[in-house]
C-alpha cells in the first residue's frame, strides 16, 4: 500500500510543526513562525488530498486504508496499537480540518502579529491540528481517545492563551472541567466496549455491533454520547462554549466552530453501528440535539456580544447536526458539518476583523452599527456567511439544513420535525438581528474602522466563497457527499421522490425568509424603536442573554458546594487536622523537651541527689533480686 504513506504524513506535519515551534520558535524573527506553522498545516492538507485522491482511485467498495504504525500496548490480553484509518468519513473530516485550519493559520499571521507570544500561539495551533487529525484518522478507540484528550488540552491552552486575564484562565478551566465530565463517561464507555468485544479496533467493533443486546448497546452508545455532549457543548454541558470566547478569535474560529466541537458529531457518525443496535440511543441523540438547538437559538437572540452570539449559534448548529445523526441522516449531518465549518469560521474571522478595527477590541454589538460602509469586504463576507447559516439559497447552508429537516420529517416524528423548523426560524432571526445590528443601521461605533489587511481579507474572501458554493457538494439526497459516504454510513435511505421534496424545502425556506424579514422589520426598517424595546423587556432579554440561567444554576448547585467542600478540605481537614496532627507531634516533642530539660538545673546538689536516687534504685533492685 504505497499510497498509504501519505496517510501517516497527515498528522505528522503539524506534529513536527508543533515540536519545532515549541522548542525553537521564540528565536525566530518576524512572522516567519506563522508561515512555518501554516506551511505545516498546508502539508497536512496536501497529504489529505493525496490520500483522498488515492482513495477515489479505487472502486467504491474498496475505499479503505488502514496503516499500522506501532504496537503500543501489550498487557496480557489487552492489545492496542497505533493505527490510522483512511475511509470516506475520516477523509471528509481530515480535509475539512486541514483545509479550514490552513486558512485560519494564515489569517492568524496577521491577526496575532503584535502578540508577544506569537510563536507559542502557532505551536499550540499546530499541536491542536495534530491532535484533531489523530482523532479523525484513528483506527481504534484508544487512539481516538488520545486525540480527544489532546484537543481538549489544546483547547484549554488556547482559550487561556491570554492567561493574564483572570476571565480567560477561568474560561479555560471551565472548558476543561466541563468536557472532562463527558470525557470520563466516554472513557467508561470505551472500557465497556473493550470488555464486550475484547478489542478496541473499529472494524472489529463495528462488525460485531449489530449483534449487541439492546441494553448493552444502549449503555455503550449513551456513554460515548456523553463524551460527545461534553466536547460539542450540547445540553447539559454546553456552558463552557460561550465563555471560551475569551480566547483569541482565530481560536474560536478553528476550535470552537469548525473542528474540535464537531468531534462529537464525528464520534456519533463513526460509531453509529453501536447506536443503531440500541432502540433508544439515536432517539436520545436526536432529542438532545434538537432541544439544544432550540435552546441555543433562543439564547443567541439575546446576546449583545458578537462572539457569544456566534458561540450560541455554534451550539445550535451542532444541535442540528446531532439531530441529523439521530434521525440517521448521517450524510446530511456531515454535509452540514462541512458547510458549517466554512461559514462559521468565516463569521468568526469577520468578527475578528471588526474587533481589530474598533477601539479596545469591541465585541458589543450595541456599539457597532453601520459597519458595512467602512468595512465592505468584511461586510460582504459576513453577509454571505450569515445568509448561508440562515439557509438562504443558493448558498450552502440552505441545502444542508434542508436535507436535515427533510430527514426529520421522514423519520415520522412530527414533534421533532416541528422543533427543527422552529430552530430554523430562530437561526434566521438571530443571524438577521446580528447582521442588521452590527453592519447596518445608524453607526453607533467609535473610532475609524477599516477593512483588515490583505492577508486577513483574502482569507475572509476564500471562506465566504466556500460558504457560498459548498452546496455543490451535496445538492440533493443523492449528491456527491452522500454517495461518497455510503461505505461508511450505509446505503441511502429511501429517497422521497422529487416533487414531494419541494413542499418540505419550501417550508424551511419560507421560515428562513420569515425570520430574516422579522429581523429586518425590527432592527432596520425604522418602524420599531428597538432600543427602547430593550429597556421594556429587560427581564426576558436578560434571561436569554444568560442562556436561560443554566450557568447560574450550575454555579449555585454544583460550583459553590464544590468550592465549599474544597475549602473545607483545605482549611479544616488539611490545615487543622492533618497539619495539626503533624505539627502537633512536633509540638509534643518540643513540649516534652521543655519539660524534660528542667532537669538541667546547673546545681550540683540536684545532680548529687540524682546520683543517690540512682544508687538507691540499683541497690533496691539487687536487694529484691537476692
Name residue 479's beta-bridge partners.
none
Report which of 124, 132, 126 is spatially closest to residue 148, judged by C-alpha positions: 132
Binding mask 556-595 for other proteins (x = CB under 8 A): ----------------------------------------
Find the shortest distance in angstroms from Cβ 615 to other proteins. 7
Q: Which of helix, strand or coil describes residue 355?
A: helix
Binding mask 173-212 for other proteins (x = CB under 8 A): ----------------------------------------
State the CB neighbour count (10 A cutoff) for residue 3: 15
Q: Which is nearer to other proteins, 2 or 605 (CB)?
A: 605
Q: Which is nearer to other proteins, 70 or 626 (CB)?
A: 626
Q: Which is nearer to other proteins, 527 or 598 (CB)?
A: 598
Stretch that binds other proteins, among 192-200, 374-382, 502-510, 607-615 (CB under 8 A): 607-615
Site for other proteins in 16-35 (CB under 8 A): none
Peptide bond into 124 cis (omega under 30): no
Q: Which is nearer to other proteins, 568 or 591 (CB)?
A: 591
Q: Which is nearer to other proteins, 75 or 623 (CB)?
A: 623
By CB under 8 A, name the one of 2, 442, 448, 605 that touches other proteins: 605
Q: Which is nearer to other proteins, 538 or 603 (CB)?
A: 603
By CB under 8 A, name the one of 77, 497, 535, 600 that touches other proteins: 600
Name residue 84's beta-bridge partners.
67, 138
Stretch that binds other proteins, among 226-234, 310-318, 535-543, 606-614 (CB under 8 A): 606-614
Find the shortest distance in angstroms from Cβ 611 to other proteins. 9
Report the C-alpha gap between 356 and 450 in whole angstroms. 9
Find the shortest distance in angstroms from Cβ 584 to other proteins. 23
Half-sphere exposure (Cβ direction) of 303: Cα atoms closer than 13 Å: 27
Stretch that binds other proteins, among 2-10, 272-280, 420-428, 612-620 (CB under 8 A): 612-620
Name residue 71's beta-bridge partners.
81
State the CB neighbour count (10 A cutoff) for residue 281: 25
Q: Which is nearer to other proteins, 538 or 599 (CB)?
A: 599
Report the C-alpha gap between 606 and 133 in whole angstroms. 84
Q: Which of helix, strand or coil describes residue 612?
A: helix
By CB under 8 A, name the one of 56, 73, 588, 619 that touches other proteins: 619
Q: Which is nearer to other proteins, 533 or 610 (CB)?
A: 610
Find the shortest distance in angstroms from Cβ 602 to other proteins. 3
Find the shortest distance in angstroms from Cβ 583 to other proteins. 23
Stretch that binds other proteins, among 94-102, 234-242, 357-365, 601-609 (CB under 8 A): 601-609
Q: Which is nearer to other proteins, 571 or 591 (CB)?
A: 591
Size of the site for other proteins (CB under 8 A): 20
Stretch that binds other proteins, among 63-71, 416-424, 481-489, 618-626 (CB under 8 A): 618-626
Report the C-alpha gap between 419 and 398 in whole angstroms. 17
Report the C-alpha gap between 458 and 106 in whole angstroms. 10
| 282: Cα separation from own chain's centroid | 21
Residue with C-alpha cell 471588526? 354
Q: Is the dihedral of CA 166, 172, 175, 177 positive or negative?
A: negative
By CB under 8 A, name the one of 59, 75, 581, 604 that touches other proteins: 604
Find the shortest distance in angstroms from Cβ 626 to other proteins. 7
Q: Which is nearer to other proteins, 528 or 589 (CB)?
A: 589
| 591: Cα separation from own chain's centroid | 58
| 574: Cα separation from own chain's centroid | 36
Backbone angles phi, psi at 428, to 5 degrees: -60, -40
DSSP letter for each residue of 199-244: --BHHHHHHHGGG--HHHHHHHHHHHHHHHHHHTT-TTSTTHHHHG
- C-beta separation of 56 from 161 below 8 A: no
Report which of 518, 248, 194, 531 is spatially closest to residue 369, judged by C-alpha positions: 531
By CB under 8 A, name the one of 500, 560, 573, 620 that touches other proteins: 620
Half-sphere exposure (Cβ direction) of 354: Cα atoms closer than 13 Å: 30
Peptide bond into 147 cis (omega under 30): no
Find the shortest distance in angstroms from Cβ 559 to other proteins. 54
Told to check if 625 binds other proteins by CB under 8 A, we report no
Find the shortest distance in angstroms from Cβ 618 to other proteins. 10
Q: Which is nearer to other proteins, 1 or 624 (CB)?
A: 624
R_g over Cα of the chain? 30
Find the shortest distance in angstroms from Cβ 620 to other proteins. 6
Q: Which residues bind other proteins (CB under 8 A)?
A: 597-598, 600-606, 608-609, 612-613, 615-616, 619-620, 622-623, 626
Amino acid at each position: 500500500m504505497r499510497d498509504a504513506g501519505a496517510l501517516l504524513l497527515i498528522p505528522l506535519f503539524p506534529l513536527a510543526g508543533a515540536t519545532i515551534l515549541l522548542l525553537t520558535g521564540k528565536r525566530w524573527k518576524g512572522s516567519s513562525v506563522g508561515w512555518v506553522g501554516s506551511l505545516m498545516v498546508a502539508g497536512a492538507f496536501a497529504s489529505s488530498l493525496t490520500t483522498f485522491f488515492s482513495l477515489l482511485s479505487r472502486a467504491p467498495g474498496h475505499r479503505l486504508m488502514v496503516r499500522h504504525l506501532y504496537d503500543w500496548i501489550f498487557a496480557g490480553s489487552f492489545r492496542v496499537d497505533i493505527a490510522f484509518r483512511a475511509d470516506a468519513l475520516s477523509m471528509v473530516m481530515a480535509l475539512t480540518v486541514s483545509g479550514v485550519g490552513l486558512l485560519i493559520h494564515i489569517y492568524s499571521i496577521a491577526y496575532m502579529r503584535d502578540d508577544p507570544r506569537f510563536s507559542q500561539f502557532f505551536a499550540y495551533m499546530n499541536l491542536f491540528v495534530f491532535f484533531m487529525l489523530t482523532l479523525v484518522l484513528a483506527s481504534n478507540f484508544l487512539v481516538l481517545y488520545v486525540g480527544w484528550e489532546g484537543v481538549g488540552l489544546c483547547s484549554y491552552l488556547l482559550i487561556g492563551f491570554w492567561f493574564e486575564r483572570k476571565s480567560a484562565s477561568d474560561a479555560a478551566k471551565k472548558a476543561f472541567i466541563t468536557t472532562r465530565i463527558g470525557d470520563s463517561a466516554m472513557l467508561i464507555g470505551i472500557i465497556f466496549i473493550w470488555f464486550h468485544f475484547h478489542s478496541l479496533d473499529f472494524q472489529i467493533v463495528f462488525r460485531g455491533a449489530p449483534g449487541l443486546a439492546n441494553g448493552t448497546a444502549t449503555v455503550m452508545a449513551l456513554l460515548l454520547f456523553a463524551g460527545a455532549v461534553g466536547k460539542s457543548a450540547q445540553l447539559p454541558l454546553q456552558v463552557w462554549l460561550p465563555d471560551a470566547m475569551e480566547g483569541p478569535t482565530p481560536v474560536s474560529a478553528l476550535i470552537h466552530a469548525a473542528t474540535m466541537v464537531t468531534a462529537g458529531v464525528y464520534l456519533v457518525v463513526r460509531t453509529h453501528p453501536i447506536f443503531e443496535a440500541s432502540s433508544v440511543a439515536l432517539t436520545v441523540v436526536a432529542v438532545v440535539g434538537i432541544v439544544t438547538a432550540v435552546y441555543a437559538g433562543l439564547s443567541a437572540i439575546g446576546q449583545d456580544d458578537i462572539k457569544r452570539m456566534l458561540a450560541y449559534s455554534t451550539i445550535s448548529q451542532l444541535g442540528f447536526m446531532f439531530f441529523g445523526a439521530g434521525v440517521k441522516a448521517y450524510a446530511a449531518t456531515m454535509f452540514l458539518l462541512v458547510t458549517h465549518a466554512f461559514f462559521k469560521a468565516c463569521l468568526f474571522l469577520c468578527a475578528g476583523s471588526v474587533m481589530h478595527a474598533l477601539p479596545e477590541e469591541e465585541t458589543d454589538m450595541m456599539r457597532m452599527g453601520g459597519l458595512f460602509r467602512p468595512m465592505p469586504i468584511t461586510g460582504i463576507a459576513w453577509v454571505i456567511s450569515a445568509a448561508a447559516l440562515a439557509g438562504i439559497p443558493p448558498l450552502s447552508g440552505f441545502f444542508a439544513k434542508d436535507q436535515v429537516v427533510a430527514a426529520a420529517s421522514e423519520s415520522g416524528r412530527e414533534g421533532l420535525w416541528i422543533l427543527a423548523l422552529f430552530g430554523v426560524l430562530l437561526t434566521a432571526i438571530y443571524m438577521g438581528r446580528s447582521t442588521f445590528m452590527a453592519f447596518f443601521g445608524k453607526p453607533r461605533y467609535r473610532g475609524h474602522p477599516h477593512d483588515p489587511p490583505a492577508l486577513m481579507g483574502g482569507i475572509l474572501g476564500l471562506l465566504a466563497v466556500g460558504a457560498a458554493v459548498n452546496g455543490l457538494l451535496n445538492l440533493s439526497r443523492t449528491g456527491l457527499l452522500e454517495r461518497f459516504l455510503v461505505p461508511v454510513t450505509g446505503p441511502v435511505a429511501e429517497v422521497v421522490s422529487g416533487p414531494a421534496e419541494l413542499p418540505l424545502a419550501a417550508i424551511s425556506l419560507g421560515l428562513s425568509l420569515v425570520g430574516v424579514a422579522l429581523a429586518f422589520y425590527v432592527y432596520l426598517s425604522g418602524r420599531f424603536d428597538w432600543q427602547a424595546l430593550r429597556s421594556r423587556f429587560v427581564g426576558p432579554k436578560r434571561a436569554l442573554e444568560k442562556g436561560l440561567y443554566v450557568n447560574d444554576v450550575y454555579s449555585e448547585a454544583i460550583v459553590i458546594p464544590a468550592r465549599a467542600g474544597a475549602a473545607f478540605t483545605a482549611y479544616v481537614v488539611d490545615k487543622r487536622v492533618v497539619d495539626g496532627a503533624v505539627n502537633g507531634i512536633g509540638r509534643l516533642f518540643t513540649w516534652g523537651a521543655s519539660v524534660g530539660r528542667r532537669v538541667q538545673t546547673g546545681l550540683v546538689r540536684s545532680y548529687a541527689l540524682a546520683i543517690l536516687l540512682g544508687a538507691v534504685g540499683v541497690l533496691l533492685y539487687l536487694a529484691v533480686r537476692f
